[in-house]
Structure 1
């Protein structure tokens, strides 16, 4: 009991320190306290009040184009999968067999039936149990009583979102303000062309914050995009309760960074403006007039984060004869930039453990980090 009380006190102390920092005006705001990134007790609060209650992005709907296409994911400790069913709809289910509770599907792929790898119980694409070897010999068994639990699943702008929260407002209404901001891009029609998964040795929030601010570009990315990054070109407006964002307007080095000549949706400066979107808690998107790339984060403990990394093209570029070559060039650059980011965020994670570590003032370009901290402070302890 004493250990539980100490843990609770630790959680409260960290949340209190976070909230006190967030009560400062942005002009006097500091980075989040080190324990936010290192405390197991704080992660337990995040799991309870964020990951088990919020809408979480798990991937791109265009990646599940055909009947039986699926992807697997996690909502905290709950394995889930999303698939395209026989009617063409996207559906999500618990990814746990109803027999001896093995995980059913791994990664991505295509199936006609969902077959348990342990005892071959198998389910149709609507989650109903179709067959179970030898179970007809068991008098108490009734196949019709078994159906995989459904998980709430909705799409927004071509992204797949899932949640365990029965009371969460529809994701479309949750992100309606962001929909208006980025409407001219037509992101819902962008097509995914690559997808990878990685695990880095850092706290998930350090990686999220790294994406949210471009203040680090000239230094951390000095060997790649840094020399082309003009901090004075960046705009960091105040965020919203569900997301933050900032804009960079410039001529892109690759044609796919600007609007395609046949793109009639974007006009004026929007034809060369990039939007960097951080959708709370873990969906990070770089959206340009010609392509997008994204990160989706899933903590695997305090010091490890699973990353879904992908990207693709605006519809005008999908059939452009040179688009594949441009995308390959971009992917090479993104890989180099990610390697630099990995070194940076893993170094920060080592640093926040230091006894003398102390958060300093945020720069004007770190407004998104301030908004992210306020989001966390408002969520934790709210349920």
Structure 2
């Protein structure tokens, strides 16, 4: 599926990025703009990691489905009759056309090209003009299943049959977020991906930029003067690619809204300390979870090319919150309050990508509050080295 090749950038070039925060410099600019290196990454990273594609609660009923294109692999996730979720290749076994688009509910999937019909489990049910052909056995044909697992309500997939379960990898984060009851939260709206003109690694989260890029947006809503940043939260594990930080306020129930406080009911079961905390946990390579006192936000991103990606975010709440009469009003207020922050981030990501194409692109030093990026680089570089060592 993904070719295993050696790194076109000599691995020793990454040594300067695999150091302590006081000494490390950023990755080589070529790692963000080279087509050859992106092809290496597809085999080194995306062929062998767990990748989140959405929420199980977004397809709650038999036949509910959504589709997604993941690193040029069209996929379809569908709720089965027994309540399980199956992820399959969204590629007809006849002429490779997609059998579904978007999201919805279906009794079966019919390829628009020649009307080959597949059941919810992917088994071929009908192939016009071939059904009675003695040389054709439709019972042997089905949409290929993609290995998948549900963690805390999130659907993860991998193209690697041998790596450990995602639940095993995320044990420490599971324990840390237990009181947020992630599994039972539901989306305020489905994920809606949009295009960003930037390499997928540009999305690395850190808190250094907040007081600068977001000085007139985020900082106007959240009391940064009363917070401290905890970079050593117990869920951190470079080896497992779970890397983040907590913003810990002096007061409970603060949130980046125009009021400075949460607009929704506080999640039941949170401790007093958790009500003062915003958890920013990256699950490498393509997910960020932000756990707040009244909700959880999550972000996904995928490369669509060397210098292009798609990005999406949505909010998760208890069903009881969404059922409130004023939920739509307050939720839309939250979205509007953070819109400018998102626009500023997109501006920065795309501007950074333009700069990385310059012959003057730097390998800059890291500030102490960019320790998250240094740790993410360590996780990434380790996978580069393993892939290069095991390449064909």
- In the superposition, the TM-score normalised over structure 1's length comes to 0.90
Does the CA-based 8 Å contact 1:259-1:271 persist in structure 2?
no
**Residues 316-331 of structure 1 mapped to structure 2, 5 A cutoff:** 316-331=320-335
Matching residue of 2:366: 362
2:5 corresponds to 1:11 = no
- Per-residue deviation, 1:192: 0.5
Does the CA-based 8 Å contact 1:236-1:245 persist in structure 2?
yes
Does the CA-based 8 Å contact 2:246-2:278 persist in structure 1?
yes
Q: 1:52 aligns with which of 41, 47, 63?
A: 47
Name which of structure 1's ranges 263-272 and 194-203 shifts more when overlaid on structure 2. Answer: 263-272
Provide the C-alpha distance between the structure 1 equivalents of 2:277 and 2:318, rounded to a whole number of angstroms. Answer: 14
Q: 2:129 aligns with which of 130, 134, 142?
A: 134
Q: 1:77 aligns with which of 72, 76, 80?
A: 72
As a proportion of its length, which structure holds more helix?
Answer: 1
2:218 corresponds to 1:225 = yes
Q: SS state of the match for residue 188, structure 1? A: helix
Does the CA-based 8 Å contact 2:20-2:374 persist in structure 1?
no
**Residues 198-217 of structure 1 mapped to structure 2, 5 A cutoff:** 198-207=194-203, 209=204, 212-217=205-210
- Per-residue deviation, 1:272: 2.8
Name which of structure 1's ranges 70-79 and 228-237 shifts more when overlaid on structure 2. Answer: 228-237
Give deviations 1:215-234, integer Å, cap 9, x for gaps.
Answer: 11122123311333627622
Q: SS state of the match for residue 26, structure 1? A: coil
In structure 2, the CA distance between the partners of 1:54 and 1:311, relative to structure 1 (3 Å rule), is same
- In the superposition, the TM-score normalised over structure 2's length comes to 0.88
In structure 2, the CA distance between the partners of 1:350 and 1:266, relative to structure 1 (3 Å rule), is same
Give deviations 1:134-184, integer Å, cap 9, x for gaps.
Answer: 213533111211112111111111100011111011111011111122222
Matching residue of 2:33: 38
Matching residue of 2:347: 343
Does the CA-based 8 Å contact 1:258-1:271 persist in structure 2?
no
In structure 2, the CA distance between the partners of 1:258 and 1:184, relative to structure 1 (3 Å rule), is farther
Does the CA-based 8 Å contact 1:256-1:290 persist in structure 2?
no
Matching residue of 1:257: 262
**Residues 63-142 of structure 1 mapped to structure 2, 5 A cutoff:** 63-136=58-131, 138-142=133-137
Where in structure 1 are there 5+ consecutive unaligned residues?
1-6
Does the CA-based 8 Å contact 2:16-2:24 persist in structure 1?
no
Give deviations 1:63-106, integer Å, cap 9, x for gaps.
Answer: 11111111112343322111101111111111111111112222
Aligned length: 370
2:176 corresponds to 1:178 = no
Does the CA-based 8 Å contact 2:218-2:338 persist in structure 1?
no
Give deviations 1:183-228, integer Å, cap 9, x for gaps.
Answer: 2221222110112110111111102x1xx11211122123311333
Provide the C-alpha distance between the structure 2 equivalents of 1:16 and 1:315, rounded to a whole number of angstroms. Answer: 51
Provide the C-alpha distance between the structure 2 equivalents of 1:148 and 1:94, rounded to a whole number of angstroms. Answer: 6
In structure 2, the CA distance between the partners of 1:290 and 1:264, relative to structure 1 (3 Å rule), is closer
Where in structure 2 are there 5+ consecutive unaligned residues?
388-392
Provide the C-alpha distance between the structure 2 equivalents of 1:334 and 1:259, rounded to a whole number of angstroms. Answer: 15
Does the CA-based 8 Å contact 1:187-1:314 persist in structure 2?
no
Matching residue of 2:247: 248
Q: 1:150 aligns with which of 145, 148, 154?
A: 145
- Per-residue deviation, 1:131: 1.1
- Per-residue deviation, 1:258: 7.8
- Per-residue deviation, 1:259: 7.9
Give deviations 1:332-372, integer Å, cap 9, x for gaps.
Answer: 12332211111111000011111122122211111110111
Does the CA-based 8 Å contact 1:151-1:162 persist in structure 2?
yes
Please, what is the CA RMSD of the aligned residues? 2.1
Q: SS state of the match for residue 257, structure 1? A: coil
Provide the C-alpha distance between the structure 1 equivalents of 2:272 and 2:263, rounded to a whole number of angstroms. Answer: 11
Provide the C-alpha distance between the structure 2 equivalents of 1:131 and 1:76, rounded to a whole number of angstroms. Answer: 29
Provide the C-alpha distance between the structure 1 equivalents of 2:76 and 2:14, rounded to a whole number of angstroms. Answer: 34
Provide the C-alpha distance between the structure 1 equivalents of 2:115 and 2:283, rounded to a whole number of angstroms. Answer: 39
